[in-house]
Structure 1
Amino acid sequence: MSRREQIRMTDEEIEGFLADGRVVTCATVGPAGRPHLLPLWYVPDGLDVLCWTYRSSQKTANLRRLAEATLQVEDGERYEDLRGVMMECGVKIVEDADAVAEVGLAVARRYTPGLAPGDPVPPELERAAAQQAVKRVALRFSPTRIVSWDHRKLGGVY
């Protein structure tokens, strides 16, 4: 078995890794054909990734031109601890304000300190998501190809 096969994560491991991750790096193709990289907060939905961003942002313009992106979530500081997932994705831009607010609320729920899954959402969070939704779009990244690595699986043997 190749080392590549030994460090590959299963779909279940990838889902768990995405659930534990905090920031996804998103690469789109800019107007001059060069990569446009940026960090995003996200909500995993199985192997899909949901984000929201400003309607007038460069990444939105890039995705309107070419609805494809590459995402990466990574972790680890020493070589033997490196883990990550790189996903080449098709991207759906969601414009409906209610659907955008729903994604925004899911992002807010995930990143608001002290708000645990299943806790009631404070009304001010709902209002903020609804107000922001008119200026934003939601993005659904659906992987067409996934590459993953978990060097911890090698047990320090290279």
Structure 2
Amino acid sequence: MNQRARIVMSDDEVTAFLRESRKLQLGTINPDGTPHMVTMFYGLVDGQIAFWTYGKAQKTLNIGRDPRVTCLVEAGDDYFDLRGVLVYGTARLIDAPDAVLDIGMNITRRMTGAGEDEASDELRGYVEHTGRKRVAYLVEPTRVVSWDHRKLTTPASA
């Protein structure tokens, strides 16, 4: 078995890793073709990456022109601790106010560590206020690449 095959995460490992993480690096395409990279907090909706942003943000303009995105979620500081999931996909615009609010609440709960039942009126008020100028996106994956270098420290199975 080659080293690349040894470090690939299973579908369940990818799902767990995305559920445990909170931030991603989002890549969109600028008008001149260069990458536009930003760090975003994200949520999960039916297993898909969801994020929200201001309607006039550069990433919003870029996605409006070309909906292809790349999302990198990574962890680890040392080589044998590196883990990551790279999702190539298409960003689908969500602009219905209730759906934007739901995604905003999902992301904000993950950011703050508040549980589903712990969303206070104050937290909801903040999300409603900031959500008035936001749109949300669901990333429909076209390809997923993963790695878990921790697997390199265990013997390869025969």
* TM-score category (smaller protein): over 0.9
Paired residue total: 156
Aligned residue in 2 for 1:72: 72
The one-character-per-residue Cα deviations of 1:43-69 (angstroms, maximum 9, x if unpaired) are: 123541011100000000000001110
Which of residues 139, 142, 153 in structure 2 aligns to 1:141?
139
Aligned residue in 2 for 1:99: 99
Gaps of 5+ in 1: none
Residue 77 of structure 2 corresponds to residue 54 of structure 1 = no
Find the residue that maps to 2:44 and give its secondary structure: strand
Pair 144,47 (structure 1): closer, same or farther in 2 beyond 3 Å: farther
TM-score by length of 1: 0.92
TM-score by length of 2: 0.92
Residue 32 of structure 2 corresponds to residue 17 of structure 1 = no
Letter matched to residue 127 of structure 2: A
Which of residues 127, 130, 143 in structure 1 aligns to 2:128?
130
Is the CA contact 2:109–2:116 (under 8 Å) kept in the aligned structure 1?
Answer: no
Aligned residue in 2 for 1:82: 82
Letter matched to residue 26 of structure 1: L
Is the CA contact 2:22–2:110 (under 8 Å) kept in the aligned structure 1?
Answer: no
The one-character-per-residue Cα deviations of 1:127-154 (angstroms, maximum 9, x if unpaired) are: 2222222200011112110110001111
Q: Distance between the aligned counterparts of 1:47 and 1:147, measured in 2?
A: 16
Is the CA contact 1:98–1:133 (under 8 Å) kept in the aligned structure 2?
Answer: no
The one-character-per-residue Cα deviations of 1:10-42 (angstroms, maximum 9, x if unpaired) are: 111011111111210000001111000000000
Gaps of 5+ in 2: none
Following TM superposition, by how much is the alpha carbon of 1:120 offset from its aligned partner in structure 2, in angstroms?
3.2
Q: Distance between the aligned counterparts of 1:59 and 1:108, measured in 2?
A: 19
Aligned residue in 2 for 1:63: 63
Q: Distance between the aligned counterparts of 1:135 and 1:103, measured in 2?
A: 14
Letter matched to residue 94 of structure 1: I
Q: Provide the identity percentage.
A: 37
Is the CA contact 2:44–2:106 (under 8 Å) kept in the aligned structure 1?
Answer: no
Following TM superposition, by how much is the alpha carbon of 1:109 offset from its aligned partner in structure 2, in angstroms?
1.1
CA RMSD of aligned residues (A): 1.6
Aligned residue in 2 for 1:120: 118
Aligned residue in 2 for 1:152: 150
